[in-house]
Structure 1
Amino acid sequence: GSTFWFTARFGKHAVGKAAPTKQKPLPAKRVLLADNNAADRQIVRAQLTALGMRCTSVASGDEALQFLCEAIADDDPYALTIIDMEMPGMNGMELARAIKSDLIAKDIRVVMLCSDAKARRNSDIDAFLVKPVKQPLLHQCLVSVLGAAPLKRTKAKNQAPTDTAPRPIHDTRILVAEDNEVNRHVMLLVLEDLGYTADTVVNGKEALAALRRQAYDIVLMDCQMPEMDGYEASRTIRREFDRPPRIIAMTAHALRGDREKCLAAGMDDYLSKPIIATELETALKKWAPVCDPKAPVDLQRLRDICGDAPEAMRTVADLYLEQGAELLPAIEMAIRNNDAKHVRSIAHRLRGASLTCGSISIVPFLNQLEELGNSGNLATASVVYKKASSEFAEIRSFLESYLQK
């Protein structure tokens, strides 16, 4: 509660543009996506389009080669190909070798989509991405492969070298409500260092408008803002939203009773300014949403690929359920025909789509079916299939119920 003043004189800094606080789209490069899985293809294509790419998608290696050749003939070549490793016919590795051959332009970059993080490196591959593909990781990969230089902050001459290991990327959706431009910028930099991204608004009214447009997990709410302060905004959020975000207060006050005032307004936690990174990290870990382990679908994973657009989630879910309804009977038929090869390939396709869409409960049984197909011994496959079919029914019921809300 102390009051003090001081005077400081600084040299005038060279005029320069402020560092951007939001991720900007990449240059509109032309990208060819090759993946036989329709759900995965649609999801990754939507992610690429959102990042500013000009994307064409195909379902096979042969189609990919045809499109690549036509693009070169039209003098509008692709800068990048993104290829699924496990495609029938010409697989991903074979397609990559063909692309890097003299027949196709060698300078086309190749990114391989795989389901195993331990996928073997290959001189024909510029980068690997593990499915399901998350937008922040896809953006990082494109920046690296296409040679664009990411934004870097200047390091002081006498600053000790920092650890170059990449920070973890968190999925928590954060909104920062802060009217002070300097504080907003500093908060974004601290969050970036902790592995988070965030959107920003400058008052309580804008915070409410942002929450009405899309869902956030956590709001970092400044208490003193013009037009509508953090207290009123928090009370309105608690009244208006059935599933409100966690609200963490940020205040410069250090007086007795301030914490109680924040909690009474509906805030969940309290941080004193200046914000200390370790305290912020502790609060974010405390209040970040945790997936319900009993749910058959990891909704956070579904949000990762669809954002918070209900129509996008519904489209992807419908596409996945349609594909599952087609592939499960095909697995059953392959088991009846003792066709181990098809059991393996179809189970692999459905497993990939399930992982992408967050349908986690069915994955262990699809893994078992894939392993049985690899072994050639289908003696127990019918039992495992029934379990997979039962889990798919649970997933369908869960998704239909959730999306109706």
Structure 2
Amino acid sequence: MTDKSKNHYESDSAETLFHDIATPLLVAKMKAGLLASYLPQLIKSLAESPDLQHLLPGDKKVIEALLSAPEIMVSNLDVVQKKINLLSESVLHQANNFSACPLGDNATANIHNGSMDASTSAALRTVSIKTILLVDDEVVHRDIGGSLLSPHYQVDFAENGLEAIRKCEQKHYDLILMDLHMPKMNGEQATMALRACISNETIIIGLTSLPLGANQSGLLARGFTDFLEKPLTMKGLQNVLRAYARHA
């Protein structure tokens, strides 16, 4: 195995590992947050109801543990998530997984000298993507996307197509990740509206958990650049961006 192949294998393995960790971690954090919001009130309601008090544990220490556990879980998961983000950024950078981080003077010199290989050149062309708008009505998918993208890009979020249009009226985005199925205004409607007022160079990638089938060609004609399956992965995104860079 050549050094280049080894680095590619290691980066793919690292990307898969961190995605497999990040997704259940974010789901667990969201559920712990719900427990922290509702469990204390539920326990209080049971304690104040003579007819329901028997449903509570008889040991007060157990009740105290139930009351404090969700907040502790949220705090611990938040720490773990931050550590995972830092470790992911460090490992993926060392594996040369994706050149979205700032490049040093040596890389710039290599460009001028014509000694940079094609894969690095393609990655450099995607460095022009600095601002991303992630549009999704589901919190968990916004959290997953933010966790993956924030270490490398300036990321904003919108919960539906109407909010996405308002955001784009206020700010330019190099890349828009657009969920197809949302309330108020879906991704297809929002993309058609946006294409009338944003730069043609802005990449709009549709996000969906459902197969597109014959609808894909129609969606491309309505302004989408490409599509990715949900949940979002950096590997999937970088593959699309590299393909776009080669044909830009």
TM-score, L = length of structure 1 = 0.32
| Structure index of larger Rg | 1
Higher relative contact order structure (alpha carbons within 8 Å, sequence separation ≥ 6): 2
**Which one has a larger percent helix, Structure 1 or Structure 2?**
2
